Structure 1
Amino acid sequence: MTDKIDFKNPKYYNNRELSWLDFNERVLEEARDKNNPLLERVKFLGITQSNLDEWVMVRVASLAKLVEVKWDGKDSSGRSAEEQLRDVNVKAHEMLVRQYSTLNRSLLPALNQVDIHLLKVGDLTPEQYQFIKGYFHDELYPVLTPMADDSSRPFPFINNDSLNLSLRLNKKDDEEGKTLYATLQVPSIFSRVIKLPGGDNDFILIEDIIKQFVDQLFINYTIKEVSVFRVIRDMDLDVAEEDTSDLLKKVQQQLKLREHGQVIRLEVDSTISSKLRKRLVKELQTAEDSVYEVNGPLDLTFMSKLAGKVIGHDDLKYRPFKPYQPAALDSNHNIFDAIQKHDWLMQHPYDKFDSVVEFIRQASVDSEVLAIKMTLYRVSGDSPIIKYLGRAAQNGKQVTVLVEVKARFDEENNVHWARQLEKMGCHVIYGLVGLKTHSKLSLVVRREENGIRRYVHMGTGNYNDVTAHFYTDLGLLTCNTDIGIDVTNIFNMLSGYSRPPYFHQLHISPNGIREFITERLDEAIKYAKQGKPVHVQMKMNSLSDQDMIAKLYEASHAGVTVDLIIRGICCLKTGIKDVSDHITVHSIVGRFLEHSRIYLFNFDGEQQVYLASADLMTRNLNRRVEQMFPVLQPDLAQRVVSIYTTMWNDNVKTRTLDKNGVYKRVDRRGREPLDSQEFFAAQATRLTEAQQGENRPKSGAQFQPMMSPQNQPDPFNDEDGGDNQ
């Protein structure tokens, strides 16, 4: 019976941070997978590093702070902060070994085989050596600043995520040979990967050039040792919010303070002497288990840059595809006429993000448009949407933009854009006290013959034209009256004190999304107990909220079939008898970052389809403004179900979470390979080519329900699809 089972028993939960490391292992597997194009594998290795760095700056930093203040609580898996910090450091050290094993044993030899070389100084030809010598003297020498470290000059401040050289040296005329120390920061204004003459794809790292000639900076001294090191600091933003009137100023202050956060991770060359290592640990006040000895170049993010500098070799990259844009949503057609006829669903990056940009562009110049309201969480450095919002304000339209200046690691960019929007005449809101606004909404109010009509775009991802090329997201364009009223009420809530008593179609966090999903799961439990068929399918980035997991356990216990596609963190355990034996978890890690959030409920054949900006994490459900919205048009609802089904049947990039907490590849024996991302890319290419050709489909053809994958043509045999080999 349900009342005999404690669904919050700690043994039923995975630790969040260890689960995140499992996710990064899946990314590392892509770097090791020889079925992926070589230069894409190189990029995946770089991605594992950038993922780790951000995780350490925020999540590990938070654990370190909890340990420091002697927090006596425990996470859902029953671990104290101290136990979590210990466990993640052990697992992160193991990951470091695998990262560098992948680099040294797999990727660098494979690159050498195709004449792409990352060279050391000893490997250079005489011509190449003369080149680096000239590069050092002409470019680097005037910029480098050696910092002595002695009794009169204290150990210098080391910037977060900067590469540095630590030096041990003696004065040449000092008979006693007293050991001296110095530090030298590798300047970040230069590219770290330097292209060499003499070969199309010969490269060297900037720190190797500096190490070779560093004695030029210490005349009359003998260099005893040079070692590279890097620190990762606590970069979590801590803004106390009494009100938002001076929030911008506080964010800017915190950005400056953040640079001086505590050192959370110290990376050093594995060849470093114990003397130099001890000195760095002491000066940087680093915990011993936070020191990582690296067998190779520090900071593997340079691998992504290396892949980008390679000349030629398109055969070692993913085959390009042609994203689709229905003619009705392009710049040659009135987008509002198209939305009046029916709703439009977009699946990025397979459908062009240009349609969303076009929606704002046309609104900015349309004489019938009275107002534009929009939420911005992360935008690109050169956002066309910002430009069109400014143009709209200059064209006399009422433009209101909520810019979330607390969006992690985008704070500086967002503060800049907030200022720019204000200068262009837009009303800018900086979010709500104590809450991040993570919803993705835009509203265009238009005066038409029959009165005021509201046009809405809602999405699962950010209004970012750059990430839209490699994040998978879903968006909906609609002029549904109830949804328009709901979105208007949300903006009134964000800009004023209004709190609508209810919403017609949308569900809003904080609290609203949690309540709605709980109600759906309660209904599913009721159906299952009555012996009626019921199926719950969800897709998200992360699942960590304990109450939500407990409710999913309760549903599984009652006999509800629950299928979950979770890219990253999953604190839920599968295969627990009487608790989670009806729950299956898949994770897809591939060419594109799976970012869309889909929530499907099938009650005895009655299918309910929802999309959302929120994952099932406590922060999304309790501390953020998020939206969940229905897909009401039947053909589009069916398309979402088909998209989910295609992803569920993926057997190339899917890993399944087993009862032991291990993610395993799908057994493909006897089955046609299906890579869902390549399938969608091939489908987009076919639609685009058909539209460009004589047999142009109707503008809505993209939105016809897809067949199940078993009945579809094999994209891997299609000349426009390809499996990237």
Structure 2
Amino acid sequence: MTEIDYEDPQFYTNRELSWLDFNDRVLEEARNKHNPLLERLKFLGITQSNMDEFVMVRVASLAKLVEVKWDGHDASGLSAAQQLKAVNDKAHEQLVKQYTTLNRILLPAIKQVGINLLRVEELNDEQLQFIKSYFHDELYPVLTPMADDTSRPFPFIGNDTINLSLRLSKKGHDKSLYATLQVPSIFPRVVRLPKAENDFILLEDIIKKFVDQLFVNYDIHDVSTFRVIRDMDLDVAEEDTSDLLKEVQQQLKLREHGKVIRLEVESDISKKLRKRLVRELGTDEDSVYEVNGPVDLNFLGKLYSTVADKDELKYPPFQAYQDTDLNDEHNIFESIQERDRLMQHPYDKFDSVVEFIRQASIDKGVLAIKMTLYRVSGNSPIIKYLGRAAQNGKQVTVLVEVKARFDEENNVHWARQLERMGCHVIYGLVGLKTHSKLSLVVRREESGIRRYVHLGTGNYNDSTAHFYTDIGLLTANNNIGVDVTNIFNMLSGYSRPPYFHKLHISPNGIREFIIDKLDQAIRYAQFGRPVHVQMKMNSLSDQEMIAKMYEASHAGVKIDLLIRGICCLKPGIKGISESISVHSIVGRFLEHSRIYIFDFEGEKQVYLSSADLMTRNLNRRVEQLFPVEQPDLAQRVLSIYRTLWQDNVRTRVLDVDGTYNRVDRRGRASLDAQDYFAVQATQWAEKQQLDLHKQNPNQFQPMMSPENQHDPFGEER
């Protein structure tokens, strides 16, 4: 028999093109009539923010590889230049689809319900007077026109800023002059107009209307909006620095001046302005994107939150559930002693995780708290309680990953703050990002020292926990406690534990574990024994992992994959991946949890992890994979996976030709898994409240103030 080469490039999809396919699935949600109208606007805005980050990092990396003439190829066999060309071609197609969605579908639809994004020529007299006053009273003192001539060179254009490019001439002269004007970000880009509650105009349109007042005695011939996206990847040479914090801060300053990777201009820009911008910014022609509408669709998220009295055009609110044993009226450590606790966010409140740290900060028996922080919110209660714990005499050690992409500045701030509050702060290992989600509380009890642990699939971020789906485990399992202690010793010192009892740790450990499990599955299949592998993750791109899955499928192993984003694996290839199925769910919440299930003849082994199966997660990050061993909790994770797999509303199925297609629902009841979990959480919460009322019918429950109510996206209402 001819030996199969499971790493043959024809069996792989390019990572960057697969990511663009994911963003296209998000874009489909903006076009989906079954979604509430304002949520569709928000989905379209998300496609822009997704694209911006993709360009800043991934496209920028490809551009650098092309620049240095890298002669390698990716798993799908494409060179860097071929990838960059294919990405730009596909991104141009997606841009057209984005603006067609805005102009032909969403703007007319919101107009029908009384929400208007107006152009200057559509304003009535009162609105014109309003924007005139707004310009003179608010904007004029702040605006700074920048001339561009022989004595004043073309100004620096900041990443992701909205700017106006102008061609003008002195009155009575023909010579063209040029200037730029940054639209100030300190003002809201979406401006509410008077009288009509939901009439809006964009800030740059107001400035354009009156921009001539900044250039007295000059005639303005052309004005066009533009924006640049720069290379924003952080390049920290850790082996060459003794102070990682200072190096990160230095690189943050340098990053602001990265190479221009994408230039967005209005489609009606004059040839002279376009040519000048391309030359001055050093942009490749393939990297110029002409947009048929407002530059930068991120404003749609602001419009979503600015619209008044249109809640019926948003997702209905749901009530997240919190086990009473994990709230502030109970001793959370006694509750964890009784049994392990599992939470599925956002359907289970993240408050329980915050409460775990809060009680640890004031509990007299607690001796130490150790925690990893990758991304936290701008006003994190966890940071506050860690500081309180240190001030209460606890030994507090926090690993703050200051290299967390686009959160570097925020994390540097929190690292300094934690140090000022008396915490020991460490910054991870040289050459590795610490992406694991771990908390350890060491407590002295009558029986001796006991360790309490929280392990999660997502960040300790109370804001994103409202709209990222993640799973967390609270446990007092001694073996897990010992493993987590060893991990922190490894992160903060020179410890290298010879083995772990329950956990599997990257780099290397998670890769070895999953390959061992797939090898075991292959042996089962070869002997005709039933075996089933189920995995859920954000992205699958590691070539060695995919090759092993192909080998397993060839042997007859059934593999089901729930992958929200990038998938470089091709399912359904005859003789290679016929027994592999790939589903992707894009919906109201961002699917972020990682689940790994191995079913050997009905014996189901359930694991959760912080890691996707990407090379960076397996080789260059500290990650954890941990078992869910308590039978009822393992069953709950299995049920969560099963519900997600049976979803036929939000799911797309990846076909052998690389396309994602909706599930055929004919003859089947609709199941939106995310909606199912939200309804279930609300029912549990309402039943809990009813039970509490029956126990104490005279208890007075004050109504929450509007300031304390949060919507499911974590934004104040």
Q: TM-score, normalised by structure 2?
A: 0.96
In structure 1, what residue type is equivalent to 2:618? L
TM superposition shift of 1:661: 0.3
- Is the Cα–Cα contact under 8 Å of residues 244 and 430 in structure 1 kept in the other structure? no
Q: Residues of 2 paired with 1:653 and 1:173: CA distance? A: 62
In structure 2, what residue type is equivalent to 1:442? S
TM superposition shift of 1:275: 1.2
Aligned counterpart, 2:683: 686
In structure 2, what residue type is equivalent to 1:624? R
Aligned counterpart, 1:157: 156
Asked if 1:212 corresponds to 2:209, the answer is yes
Aligned counterpart, 2:583: 586
Equivalent residues in 2 for 1:302-381 (5 A)? 302-381=299-378
Aligned counterpart, 1:126: 125
Equivalent residues in 2 for 1:308-707 (5 A)? 308-694=305-691
| CA distance 1:69–1:88, shift in 2 (3 Å) | same
Aligned counterpart, 1:23: 22
Q: Residues of 1 paired with 2:107 and 2:210: CA distance? A: 25
In structure 1, what residue type is equivalent to 2:517? R
Percent of paired sites with the same residue: 77
In structure 2, what residue type is equivalent to 1:9? D
Aligned counterpart, 2:224: 227
Aligned positions, number? 696
Aligned counterpart, 1:7: 6
In structure 1, what residue type is equivalent to 2:22? F
Equivalent residues in 2 for 1:187-198 (5 A)? 187-198=184-195
Q: Residues of 2 paired with 1:283 and 1:29: CA distance? A: 36
TM superposition shift of 1:381: 0.4
Deviation readout 1:506-532 (Å, 9 max, x if unpaired)? 000000000000000000000000000
Q: Residues of 1 paired with 2:690 and 2:655: CA distance? A: 47
TM superposition shift of 1:274: 1.1
TM superposition shift of 1:195: 0.2
TM superposition shift of 1:106: 0.3
Aligned counterpart, 1:53: 52
- Is the Cα–Cα contact under 8 Å of residues 591 and 677 in structure 1 kept in the other structure? yes
TM superposition shift of 1:166: 0.3
Aligned counterpart, 1:65: 64
Deviation readout 1:346-381 (Å, 9 max, x if unpaired)? 000000000000000000000000000000000000
Q: Residues of 1 paired with 2:230 and 2:32: CA distance? A: 32
TM superposition shift of 1:245: 3.7
Aligned counterpart, 1:145: 144
Q: Residues of 2 paired with 1:198 and 1:352: CA distance? A: 40
- Is the Cα–Cα contact under 8 Å of residues 244 and 432 in structure 1 kept in the other structure? no
TM superposition shift of 1:173: 2.7
- Is the Cα–Cα contact under 8 Å of residues 244 and 433 in structure 1 kept in the other structure? no
Asked if 1:100 corresponds to 2:99, the answer is yes
TM superposition shift of 1:695: 7.2
Q: Residues of 2 paired with 1:553 and 1:140: CA distance? A: 60
SS in 2 for 1:132: helix
In structure 1, what residue type is equivalent to 2:145? P
SS in 2 for 1:293: strand
TM superposition shift of 1:243: 6.4
Q: Residues of 2 paired with 1:564 and 1:185: CA distance? A: 46
- Is the Cα–Cα contact under 8 Å of residues 561 and 582 in structure 1 kept in the other structure? yes
Q: Residues of 1 paired with 2:227 and 2:317: CA distance? A: 36
Q: Residues of 2 paired with 1:614 and 1:120: CA distance? A: 46
Asked if 1:249 corresponds to 2:246, the answer is yes
Q: Paired residue for 1:266, among 263, 267, 270?
A: 263
In structure 2, what residue type is equivalent to 1:345? L
Q: Which runs of 5+ in 2 are unaligned?
A: 696-711, 713-717
Q: TM-score, normalised by structure 1?
A: 0.95
- Is the Cα–Cα contact under 8 Å of residues 377 and 437 in structure 1 kept in the other structure? yes
TM superposition shift of 1:697: 11
In structure 1, what residue type is equivalent to 2:380? S
Aligned counterpart, 2:699: none
Q: Residues of 1 paired with 2:422 and 2:43: CA distance? A: 42
TM superposition shift of 1:273: 1.1
Aligned counterpart, 2:32: 33
Aligned counterpart, 1:82: 81
SS in 2 for 1:464: coil
- Is the Cα–Cα contact under 8 Å of residues 164 and 185 in structure 1 kept in the other structure? yes
Q: Residues of 1 paired with 2:621 and 2:194: CA distance? A: 52
TM superposition shift of 1:404: 0.1
| CA distance 1:75–1:39, shift in 2 (3 Å) | same
Q: Residues of 1 paired with 2:356 and 2:112: CA distance? A: 48
- Is the Cα–Cα contact under 8 Å of residues 538 and 599 in structure 1 kept in the other structure? yes
Q: Residues of 2 paired with 1:594 and 1:676: CA distance? A: 11
Q: Residues of 2 paired with 1:525 and 1:271: CA distance? A: 59
TM superposition shift of 1:198: 1.9
- Is the Cα–Cα contact under 8 Å of residues 372 and 445 in structure 1 kept in the other structure? yes
Q: Residues of 2 paired with 1:641 and 1:90: CA distance? A: 41
- Is the Cα–Cα contact under 8 Å of residues 588 and 653 in structure 1 kept in the other structure? yes
- Is the Cα–Cα contact under 8 Å of residues 544 and 572 in structure 1 kept in the other structure? yes
Q: Residues of 1 paired with 2:489 and 2:176: CA distance? A: 67
- Could you list the structure 1 runs, at least 4 aligned residues long, displaced by more than 6 angstroms after superposition: 695-698
SS in 2 for 1:249: helix
In structure 1, what residue type is equivalent to 2:512? E
Deviation readout 1:224-260 (Å, 9 max, x if unpaired)? 0000000000000000002664100000000000000
Deviation readout 1:33-90 (Å, 9 max, x if unpaired)? 0000000000000000000000000000000000000000000000000000000000
TM superposition shift of 1:694: 3.1
- Is the Cα–Cα contact under 8 Å of residues 244 and 431 in structure 1 kept in the other structure? no
Q: Residues of 1 paired with 2:494 and 2:517: CA distance? A: 30
In structure 2, what residue type is equivalent to 1:89? N
In structure 1, what residue type is equivalent to 2:446? E
| CA distance 1:412–1:294, shift in 2 (3 Å) | same
- Is the Cα–Cα contact under 8 Å of residues 505 and 629 in structure 1 kept in the other structure? yes
SS in 1 for 2:634: helix
In structure 2, what residue type is equivalent to 1:310? V
Deviation readout 1:401-449 (Å, 9 max, x if unpaired)? 0000000000000000000000000000011100000000000000000
- Is the Cα–Cα contact under 8 Å of residues 241 and 247 in structure 2 kept in the other structure? no
Q: Residues of 2 paired with 1:354 and 1:696: CA distance? A: 22
SS in 1 for 2:379: coil
SS in 2 for 1:198: coil
Deviation readout 1:147-177 (Å, 9 max, x if unpaired)? 0000110000000000000000010032xx1
| CA distance 1:251–1:485, shift in 2 (3 Å) | same
Q: Residues of 2 paired with 1:595 and 1:353: CA distance? A: 15
Q: Residues of 1 paired with 2:526 and 2:363: CA distance? A: 54
